[in-house]
């Protein structure tokens, strides 16, 4: 087994009994539950039922936007801080980095686990959208939801959103590992998320700002989406390379 | 003699702290080597350099003849370490903690039970570490250090916070590792009494510089009692004593200080008087190993030397 696979296997064991693992389920569930609750409680009696395909797309787009703009950046912030704090607490780096394992392996394993968590949460979000839609068919028929959920749309948009989140993931991973403080990582991520909510309204800046890229990637304007995905992929690789160089040199106390 | 650790001109300084400067360590394989010095003398800096946690400004490190640097980290496979406090995942059990490191270094699964038995934690291995006592955590940290079947164990103040029974257990464990497994143990401490009980070699560091390195017996030999002597003809007394094979430690115009090893004080007195030297004062001054240690690590002495 390669050192990276061994490190990933060790990471999976460390995640046992952790909040980080449970958050992969909780975060998407909360977003869908909130949206379904809101739709259930609103009065729709005066509105005529719309086309069922449009209703599904509308529901999916609304939830994906709420997720990509607010919950995904906060999720990445929290997860990266939790993953890094496993090593910062009890000063684990001094044990890990004294093992005969290349330093970069530890860094890459953390990054891959974080990406894996974002993938898992996104897949669960798509699943919960389908379940939430089915629930709304029963409790709020006036919305006009009917038939099968738009699986192809959900798969495509989820993939774009994931790709567009890679720069944000790489930056947040580096910050959480580099600074031995949960507060620094969380404060940085929260501030960047709030700025992202404003920047996303600008078509000129939105595709270039890491925390608004996931939302831009699922927008209906294909040009902006392509820019956001391309910048996030290239930027993600560059940020990872810089993070690795810094990690190789950094001396943990 | 095979050296488990050999450093040459090892230097790493920090602003506002000593760090270490031109450290030449020679740690013989198969021994317990006590690395002594007061807090802040550079012990932990040295240990961090020996584990590639810090990069040296200059100098070389070789473990069992194999160089260690950022590009040659596989040398660390020879080493197990406990740096300062134990680093343990509190939310995992003792066994899971070992399993995390086992997966990273690809050690055999059977090794976990072996090290648990060795440190006496086999029965508590399934409990979460957050419920462990300080002594149990320390033992688990030693088990973690032993997991990769190292030839060299580097322990930084491993008795910190342990009760007397825990310290005794630790001492027995370390002695058995050296006697039964042939492992070399490099152990740092600021307590001479602790090191004196287990180590056969010592290095004494002060203000980042090695003040003494050698067998503990050699250090003890330095601590032999002295005889303070005043007489009417010091120069003649020095000649007589030297001719008789005595070691004069200091000789100032008023007082001679003689290392007491060959003759008893009354014999020295008799010899001097029989040769016409009038002795006015004769006093035995006992030098403990501890006071020698304090002399070696006296900051003012270092400044004077500099």
Tens digits of per-residue pLDDT, A117-175? 999 999 999 999 999 999 998 888 888 888 889 999 999 999 999 999 999 999 999 99
Q: What is the CATH number of domain B3-217?
A: 3.40.50.300
Question: Which of B5, B28, B22 has the alpha carbon at shortest distance from B56?
Answer: B22
Measure the CA–CA gap between B204 and B33, rounded to whole angstroms. Answer: 11
Helix axes A151-164, A103-139, angle to 10 degrees: 150
Measure the CA–CA gap between B185 and B32, rounded to whole angstroms. Answer: 5
Contact B81, B51 (CB under 8 A): yes
pLDDT of residue B77: 93
pLDDT of residue A45: 58
Phi/psi at B248 (5° precision): -90, 120
Q: Is the pLDDT of residue A41 over 50?
A: yes
Query: pLDDT higher for A15 or A142?
Result: A15
Measure the CA–CA gap between B305 and B286, rounded to whole angstroms. Answer: 25
pLDDT of residue B234: 87
Query: pLDDT higher for A83 or B258?
Result: A83
Q: Which of B77, B89, B100 is opposite residue A100, by nearest beta carbon?
A: B77
Q: Where are the domains of chain B?
A: 3-217, 224-286
Measure the CA–CA gap between B239 and B19, rounded to whole angstroms. Answer: 45
| Residue A49 structure tokens | 């039922």
- Residues of chain A positioned with their CB less than 8 A from the CB of B87: 90-92, 94-95
pLDDT of residue B91: 93
CB distance A94–B148 less than 8 Å? no
Q: Is the pLDDT of residue B302 over 60?
A: no
Cα A2 versus chain centre, distance: 27
Measure the CA–CA gap between B224 and B259, rounded to whole angstroms. Answer: 7
Q: Is the pLDDT of residue B264 over 90?
A: no
How many angstroms away from the CA of B260 is the closest CA of chain A?
47
SS3 A15: coil
- Residues of chain A positioned with their CB less than 8 A from the CB of B86: 90
Look up the CATH architecture of domain B224-286. Answer: 2-Layer Sandwich (3.30)
**pLDDT tens, position by position, B29-63:** 999 999 998 888 899 999 999 999 999 999 999 99
pLDDT of residue B301: 47
How many angstroms away from the CA of A250 is the closest CA of chain B?
9
Q: Is the pLDDT of residue B305 over 70?
A: no
pLDDT of residue B15: 81
Strand order, beta sheet including B279-285: B247-251, B255-259, B226-231, B279-285
Contact B127, B94 (CB under 8 A): yes
Burial (0-12, 13-18, 19+ Cβ within 10 Å), A160 = buried
Measure the CA–CA gap between A240 and A248, rounded to whole angstroms. Answer: 12
Model ipTM value: 0.89
| Residue B202 structure tokens | 């010592």
SS3 per-residue string spanning A119-187: HHHHHHHHHHHHHHHHHHHHHCHHHCCCCCCCHHHHHHHHHHHHHHCHHHHHHHHHHHHHCCCHHHHHH
| Best residue of A94, A97, A109, A247 to probe chain B, by most B CBs closer than 10 Å | A94
| Residue A47 binned pLDDT confidence (cut-offs 50, 70, 90) | low
If you write DSSP's letter for every residue of B189-248 in order, what string do you get?
ES-HHHHHHH-SEEEEEETTEEEEEEEHHHHHHHT--EEEEEES-HHHHHHHHHHTTPEE
CB distance A13–B99 less than 8 Å? yes
């Amino acid at each position: 087994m390669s050192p990276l696979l061994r490190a990933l296997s060790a990471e999976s064991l460390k995640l046992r009994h952790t909040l980080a693992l449970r958050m992969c389920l909780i975060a998407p569930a909360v977003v869908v539950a909130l949206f379904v609750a809101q739709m259930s409680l609103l009065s729709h009696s005066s509105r005529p039922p719309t086309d069922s395909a449009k209703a599904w797309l509308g529901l999916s787009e609304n939830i994906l936007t709420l997720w990509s703009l607010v919950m995904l950046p906060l999720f990445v912030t929290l997860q990266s801080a939790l993953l890094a704090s496993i090593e910062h607490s009890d000063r684990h780096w001094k044990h890990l980095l004294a093992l005969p394992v290349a330093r970069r392996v530890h860094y890459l394993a953390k990054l891959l686990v974080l990406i894996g968590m974002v993938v898992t949460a996104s897949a669960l979000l798509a699943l919960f959208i389908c379940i939430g839609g089915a629930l709304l068919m029963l409790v709020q028929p006036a919305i006009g939801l009917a038939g099968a959920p738009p699986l192809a749309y959900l798969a495509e948009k989820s993939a774009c959103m994931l790709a567009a989140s890679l720069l944000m993931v790489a930056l947040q991973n580096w910050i959480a590992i580099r600074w031995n403080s949960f507060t620094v990582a969380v404060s940085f991520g929260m501030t960047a998320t709030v700025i992202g909510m404003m920047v996303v309204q600008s078509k000129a800046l939105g595709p270039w700002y890491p925390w608004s890229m996931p939302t831009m990637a699922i927008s209906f304007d294909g040009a902006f989406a392509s820019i956001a995905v391309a910048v996030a992929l290239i930027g993600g690789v560059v940020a990872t390379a810089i993070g690795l160089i810094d990690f190789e040199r950094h001396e943990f106390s | 003699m095979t050296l488990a650790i050999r450093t040459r001109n090892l230097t790493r300084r920090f602003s506002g702290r000593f760090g270490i400067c031109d450290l030449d360590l020679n740690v013989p394989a198969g021994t317990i080597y006590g690395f002594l010095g007061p807090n802040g003398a550079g012990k932990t800096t040295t240990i961090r350099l020996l584990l590639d946690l810090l990069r040296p400004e200059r100098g070389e490190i070789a473990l069992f003849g194999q160089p260690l640097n950022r590009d040659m980290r596989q040398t660390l496979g020879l080493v197990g370490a406990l740096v300062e406090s134990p680093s343990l995942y509190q939310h995992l059990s003792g066994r899971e903690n070992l399993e995390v490191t086992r997966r990273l270094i690809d050690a055999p699964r059977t090794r976990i039970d072996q090290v648990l038995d060795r440190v006496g934690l086999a029965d508590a291995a399934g409990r979460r570490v957050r419920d462990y006592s300080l002594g149990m955590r320390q033992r688990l940290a030693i088990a973690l250090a032993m997991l990769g079947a190292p030839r060299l164990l580097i322990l930084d103040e491993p008795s910190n916070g342990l009760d007397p029974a825990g310290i005794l257990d630790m001492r027995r464990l370390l002695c058995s590792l050296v006697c039964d497994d042939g492992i070399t143990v490099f152990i740092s401490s600021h307590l001479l009494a602790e090191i004196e009980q287990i180590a056969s070699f010592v290095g004494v560091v002060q203000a980042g510089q090695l003040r003494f390195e050698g067998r503990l017996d050699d250090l003890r030999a330095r601590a032999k009692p002295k005889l303070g002597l005043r007489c009417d003809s010091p120069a003649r007394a020095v000649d007589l004593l030297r001719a008789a094979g005595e070691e004069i430690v200091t000789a100032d115009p008023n007082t001679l200080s003689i290392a007491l090893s060959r003759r008893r004080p009354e014999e020295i007195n008799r010899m001097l008087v029989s040769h016409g030297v009038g002795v006015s004062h004769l006093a035995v001054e006992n030098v403990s190993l501890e006071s020698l240690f304090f002399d070696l690590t006296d900051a003012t002495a270092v400044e004077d030397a500099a």
